[in-house]
Amino acid sequence: MKKTIKIVALSLLLFFQSGWMAANEGMWLLHLLSRINQAEMTSMGLNLTADEIYSINQACLKDAVVRLNGGQCTGEVVSDKGLIFTNHHCAYDAIQGFSSVENDILTNGFCAKSFSQELPIPGFEISFLVRIEDVSKEVLANVTASTPSAERAAAVELAMKAIYEREAANGYEVEVKDFYFGNEYYMLVYETFRDVRLVGNPPESVGKFGGDTDNWMWPRHTGDFSMLRIYADADNKPADYNALNKPYAPKHFFPISLNGVKEDDFAMIMGYPGSTDRFLSSWGVKQALDITNPSTVEIRDLKLKTQKEHMDADPKVRLQYAAKYASTANYWKYFIGQSKGLSRLNVYGKKQKVEQQFTDWVAKDPSRKSTYGDALSLIQQYYNETSKTAKSNVYAIEAGLTGPDMTLFAWRFNRTYQAAQAAESEDQKKAILQSFKEDAEAYFKDYDAATEKDVFIALTELYIRNIAREQRPDWTHLVQDKYKGNVRAFADKLYSTSFMATKEKLFAFIDKPNDKVFNKDMAIMVANSAIAKYRESFFNPAQEKFDTGSRLFVAGQMEMMKDKKWYPDANSTMRLTYGKVGDYVPMDAVQYEYYTTSDGILEKKDNSNPEFVVPANLEELIDKKDFGRYANEKGELVVCFIAGLDITGGNSGSPVLDGDGNLIGIAFDGNWEAMSGDIAYEPELQRTISVDIRYVMWTIDKLMGGKNIVDEVKYAPKKQPKPVDTPQTSPQTPATVKPEGTPKAVPTPAKKETKPAEKGTVKNASGSEGTITKVPATPPKKK
């Protein structure tokens, strides 16, 4: 069995909790719940102890929460046979990979009726958290506050290496990550399973209903779920795919609750939030608003339009580019919404107030001035120095390295070729090169030369037009100097001559490699040029100022507010967030209720628009109102609901649980009005959007014919309704969003007291290795 052990040290940011923060904000570390959160959670409706949520000695809730592909998404175990629920978009690549024009399961849906029909997903991994351990003292044993940065980094790296060597023999995957911007370190131990199979997915008209128009919007009517299964060897241990493997027997799985949710119900989410920047300074906010966000949006907008033209013209291309387009579009819209939110909520001004408060506190004590006096000035210096290159750094990633698919693909082959060149024997060299054919098969399956060529032309023209020559990669100089600025002529030569342009040419080269041909290949040249410029942007000489200043700023705030409940920024480690189900007021004269129903699906129906297609069988089922045990007390089929829960990208697919630990929904998105939430939490606006588990089970049962799945899962006990002394007005079916995304205004009743709410931002998973789908507002952290 191959053992993969990783040591990752990612610099994290900590959110400074000010007076406008809601009590339930936070992405909490599970092993600290008993000390920090249990009393409050119990008062809100939790019926479990902290040990029943996280324990290393007994089965608990954390044993039913899984990390998908290193943190791209989250999933949950829902049966004693290793069945996993997650989001539709989290399995989108796999679903698309199994689809063809002749057997289009992406469009039509799929549900395996037996284990033998489940489809093995190449390269898909699912991990369970075994334990968390504080290793701060060990990692920081040989450093002090005054240790120079270079010495500090070397000492930390040496200490982490010792941890790696100690844990390597245990057979688990190990990560060491820093929290509170290098002030604390934790070791996380995982067990990773590699035999994962697709069990089922709803039709795209359900799993992606609303498409880009409804993305990030409430009200929502999307059945964003899919089903996977973990397989293990005869000893219930991780193994590579084998037809003899058996469904995994988990330590714990979540019962399905058909009791539904009501306003003010307690809810919690466990999952793997990817990253937040809530400690981002005012200078970072300004750089994001002025430079990085608009640059990212402009590049992605052009890429999306170019791909869409080809996708609309050819059904095969539509399938090939479905996952790529969705990933690009998700962050395109995210950055648009984030900028609007930052501006509307005056986050820049709020950050300045936080910084002034810190400055005043430091100035009152000479020892504080000695220790923390330079913190903010170092951060400011970093942004002053990087503002000149921030735009070109975005272009280096978005238009250069990860813009056209061929660039990143050619760079990966370049790495393989160099590894082969360093091999000790010809047999080893040949084996290394031949191993790349598997990657190439997957790449060319979803590759269309005409589409890629047009994307390359469009993005290169934009690159040359918007970025000064001295800040661009060398290949753009060649376009201007040798090809007189004619990008299309350069692209014609590139895509007609490079051995990277077709699978046949690449395989022929792999079978008969030639150094001279390799060194002259235009795609390899472009790739090397792109990665060189990207590395310039990544390894910034001002990084040390930012790292030191931020670490001191965090430490100073923790000293200044010793009694505060602190939680670290997200970093793809398991967290828990809790809050209440509830509505919100997004704007004047508009109020959104906390749930949507199947009525809204038919209200949005537009079969001339691919985003709002309602298949005849789905429409018929809704019209008949054959909802059975999945209906609420009013006979409605609830589709989605919102709750004040603090999550972000990586939480996609996370289990939404009630106070007894039963599954009530699957988190999949956030609301448009709170798009600035990764940087500044807004308690009045932020909501997590989840698909109601009753709609999931109804879809599996009635639409997909998955009786085997319905019978496999276990159900929580039916709750008896509480007696009501006086009649109460039933909630109205929420206003729906028209296909163009315009909310329907309804008269606002006498305004009730607004309850604090938590964040609801779920960003879709990023692409394959090396693809950077989010340009961080803060600088890239050293690893």
How do 246-247 and 195-201 pair as beta strands?
unpaired
Nearest to 733 by CA among 628, 624, 634: 634
Question: How large is the C-alpha radius of gyration of the chain?
Answer: 26
Cα separation values, 364 from 11, 321, 369, 560, Å: 29, 59, 8, 12
User: What phi, psi does 23 have (nearest 5°)?
Assistant: -65, -30
191 contacts: CB under 8 Å, gap ≥ 6: 127, 128, 130, 172, 173, 238
Length of the chain: 783
Amino acid at 516: K
Catalytic one among 31, 88, 89, 221?
89
d(CA 106, CA 93): 10
Distance CA 20, CA 6 (A): 39
Short-list 565, 637, 564, 569, CA closest to 598 = 637
Angle at 772 between CA 770 and CA 777, to 5 degrees: 145
Of 358, 363, 403, nearest to 379 (Cα)?
358
User: Which element (helix H / strand E) includes 342?
Assistant: helix 315-344
As given in the structure block, the two tokens for residue 532 are 């060189």
Active-site option among 652, 676, 690, 768: 652
Which residue type sits at 173? E
Say how far apart CA 571 and CA 208 lie, in whole Å: 27
Q: Would you call 652 a catalytic residue per the annotation?
A: yes
User: Quick one: residue 649, left, alpha or beta (phi over 0 = left, psi -120 to 50 = alpha)?
Assistant: beta
Of 768, 762, 615, 759, residue with least CA distance to 24: 759
Structure tokens at 651: 């939480």
Task: Characterise 265 by phi-psi region: left (phi > 0), alpha (psi -120 to 50), beta (else).
Answer: beta
User: Catalytic: 477?
Assistant: no
Question: What is the rounded CA–CA span in Å between residue 112 and residue 709?
Answer: 9
Chain-centroid distance of CA 276 in Å reads 11
**Percentages helix, strand, coil for the chain, rounded to the nearest 5?**
45, 15, 40
Rounded Cα distance, 267 and 31, in Å: 19
Burial class (CB in 10 A: 0-12, 13-18, 19+), 287: buried
Q: Tokens for 557, please give them.
A: 């705030």
- Name the active-site residue from 63, 224, 277, 669: 224
Q: What are phi and psi of 42, to 5 degrees?
A: -65, -40
How many Å apart are CA 709 and CA 704, to the nearest integer? 10
Spatial distance between the Cα atoms of 211 and 209, rounded to a whole number of angstroms: 6
Residues with catalytic function: 89, 224, 652
